Amino acid sequence: MDKPDINQDDYRFKIANREALIGIGLVLFNFVWWYGFAYGLGTKDPSDYTYVLGLPSWFFYSCVLGFIVMIILIAVVLKLFFIDIPLEDDEEI
């Protein structure tokens, strides 16, 4: 069977590659935030914990605020850096 022709110079692949790199960047940021707050604030005697909205602050910042921050960040990134391109070779946008 003949292989379909994939032209690696297709302009769309440059955009796609950049978006994939942004994805990796977001995961790294997400991880650092999650790890930093959880173990930064959580590694001490529980009797010394501070609380936000009733939750231990390590948990609030890492899991609750971290979640909200990621949503906002992703929304912004999608708006600013993700580009509408046709996926079919003959698709109109």
Partner 1 sequence: MNWQAIFPLLLFLIIIFAVGIWAGKYVKSTNSFLQEYFLGGRSLGGFVLAMTMVTTYGSASSFLSGPGTAYNQGLGWVLLSMSQLTTGYFVLMILGKKFAIVTRKYKAVTIVDFLKERYQSKWVVILSSASILLFLFSAMSAQWIGGSRLIQSLTGFSYMTALFIFSISVIVYVVIGGFRAVAITDTLQGVVMFLGTLVLLIALIIAGGGVPSIIADLAEENPNLITPFGSNGDLTPAYVSSFWVLVGVGVVALPQIAVRAMSYKNSKSMHRGILISTIVVGFIMLNMHLIGVFARPVMPGVEIGDTVMPLVAQQVLPNWLAGIILAAPMAAIMTTVNSLLLLVSSTIVKDIYLNYIEPQARESRVKGLSMWITGILGIIVIVMSLNPPDLIIWLNLFSMGGLEATFIWPIVMGLYWKKGNKYGAIASMLTGVSSYILFEYFYPQPFGMHSVVTSIILAFIAYVGFSLASGKSIAATTGR
The amino acid occupying position 4 is P
The residues of the shown chain that bind partner 1, judged by CB under 8 A, are: 3-10, 12-13, 15-17, 19-20, 22-24, 26-27, 30-31, 34-35, 38-39, 42-43, 45-47, 49, 51, 53-56, 58-59, 62-64, 66-67, 70-71, 74-75, 78, 82-89, 91, 93
Rounded distance between C-alpha atoms, residue 90 and residue 1, angstroms: 23
Contacts for 69 with CB less than 8 Å, ≥ 6 apart: 33
- Residue 88 CB, nearest approach to partner 1 (Å): 6
Question: Could you tell me how many residues make up the chain?
Answer: 93
Shortest distance in whole angstroms from residue 26 CB to partner 1: 6
